[in-house]
Amino acid sequence: MSLHPQTIPAIPSETVRVAQAAFPHGNIYMQLKDELGSIYQDEAFASLFPQRGQPAASPWQLAMVTVMQYIENLSDRQAADAVRSRIDWKYALSLELTDAGFDSSVLSEFRSRLVRGSGEDILLNLLLDKCRERNWIKAKGRQRTDSTHVLGWIRATSRLVCAGETLRAALNSLAIVAPQWLRQHSPPEWLKRYARRVEDSRLPEGKEKQAAYALQVGMDGHALLEAVYEQEAGQWLASIPAVEVLRQVWLQQFGIENGGIFWRSQQQEGIPPAARFISSPYDLQAHYARKNTTSWIGYKVHLTETCEEDLPHLITNVATTAGPIPDMDMTQPIHQSLKEKELLPEIHLVDTGYLDTPLLATSRQDFGVDLLGPSRANYQWQAQTKEGFAAASFQLDWQNQEAICPLGKHSVSWSAYTTPNGIETVKIKFSQKDCSACPGRSKCTKAKRRSITVHKEEHYLALQAARERENTEAWKKEYNKRAGIEGTISQGVRAFGLRRAKYVGLAKTHLQHVLTATAINFGRIANWLADVPWEKTRISAFEKLMLPLKTTL
């Protein structure tokens, strides 16, 4: 399919007449068409199509249909039927009332082109450009970010079920591409073990029987891999994706010792960290993750939105990551993405998960962003008791590289140290002679002498300034605005199924999240144009009854 960009036609007069008669007060699609005109142009998608071949359906129309499909949670077939039958859709797409539309498979092909061409963000970014032209997004304003978990489009399984299902998937693939070879290398008992899907309910009962079953699965998979790599026809069987996944899973799940197979555990040769551990043979990018009391296999999505009181709250950035990636690892990528869009905020409201001490300084230095959120607490016992001498109680002379304790003793050692995860710190030690005779030793240290570790100067000063600011009423009032992002995530979850991946793989799941964000923005722009007021935070009947009492407590 090739692309031949065409000028977007005006809405046919008959379509306008019938649509206005059917919707005298308009609706979301007609309002957006009248206000924003054509949000998408064919030229924006030129890089996704070849220059030669059969002409493709108009990309700008496919983009609009894809977003409208997400707004109403329609399948591809339902969306294609809506193009053929609905007047408001024809109005938004500048179509004649008699236009027969297109086959539903075109929508799937269009999404695949977006993913293959790394164009997942195009639809959201083009909408944001329109909003910026109308000053609906304030330059250097406030934005807020939060994340939530996303379940992969797979079943959550135990390690044993994952191993068995991986072997079954490899057998099914080999049965298609090399049936004669597989028949020769498959013992008859494999049919009973791997013909049907492996599930927890079908595993043997009891730890001992399950351990024996795990070893049997390990030996079967090892035998299959040996046969694959020893076959005389070359290594083409080893290049089959399901066989390569089997090899990786067996390296992670099983070990070989004295010629025998054993089931790996944390104590015996260990298993890889969650970010590298394969949790399902059907989606290699969906990993096990845990946050507080929530655990899942899949991904994590980070949403960033504007939060100005006099402007619509629009999602400006969407980032999708593997589940185990910490929130703080995404702070700088989010800022970089916003910088490329020329949408960097002056104040970025986040929770503690997006903060660490270096980020407080680097966000301002590298991006000019004030990262506003609760700093991480000091969990050392001196700080927790509220009576001990915490690191903040020491005076630091950065120029002379010296520290003075609360009782006036000077440090004897000052050395720079970089932690294994790359954080630059300073280790400071005091004299054992001074500490042993110190009357305040019980409040200071339980060791022979006191030592403290602090971040390097600019990071340390940024942390102290942030902690001082957190105690002010102005900071608390400002930070209260962050809570609104939780409502956005709630909207995404309840109305758009944000927490369940519809596709396999990180790129396709990211496209789902971008389309969800674009659909949310469409609705918010329409509400803004219609002067629909923002919803207020819901409170329970009991809390509403007791509010007068709360103000007096």
Out of 147-151, 266-270, 429-433, pick the least confident: 266-270
Helices 241-253 and 207-230: crossing angle in degrees, nearest 10, is 130
- CB count in 10 Å sphere of residue 436: 10
| The Cα angle at residue 514 between residues 296 and 140, in degrees rounded to 5 | 110
CB 371 within 8 A of CB 348: yes
| Same domain, yes or no: 317 and 335 | yes
CATH no. for residue 333? 3.30.420
pLDDT of residue 200: 73
440 located within any domain: yes
- CB count in 10 Å sphere of residue 375: 19
Residue 284, classed as helix, strand or coil, is coil
- Element of type H or E holding 304: strand 294-306
**Domain closes at, from 422, 443, 463:** 463
CB 200 within 8 A of CB 171: no
Q: How many domains does the chain have?
A: 4
What's the pTM value of the predicted model, to 2 decimals? 0.91
Which of 221, 136, 137 minimizes the C-alpha distance to 185?
Answer: 221
Per the structure, the complete domain to which residue 325 belongs is given by 142-150+302-375+475-529
Dist. CA 119–CA 125, nearest whole Å: 10
pLDDT of residue 236: 86
Average pLDDT, stretch 166-183?
Answer: 95
CB 176 within 8 A of CB 183: no
pLDDT, greater one: 25 or 139 = 25
537 located within any domain: no
Percent of the chain with pLDDT over 70: 96
Dist. CA 395–CA 405, nearest whole Å: 7
Dist. CA 415–CA 318, nearest whole Å: 41
| Same domain, yes or no: 484 and 370 | yes
7 located within any domain: no
User: Residue 51's pLDDT band (boundaries 50, 70, 90)?
Assistant: confident
pLDDT of 475 over the 90 cut: yes
Residue 283 CA, distance from chain mean position: 16
User: How does pLDDT run across 344-403, given as a tens digit for each residue?
Assistant: 999 999 999 999 999 999 999 999 999 999 998 888 888 888 888 999 899 999 999 999
**Domain closes at, from 240, 263, 286:** 263
User: Residue 56's pLDDT band (boundaries 50, 70, 90)?
Assistant: low
Residues 6+ apart with CB under 8 A from 68: 29, 74, 79, 82, 89, 92, 522
User: Residue 202's pLDDT band (boundaries 50, 70, 90)?
Assistant: confident
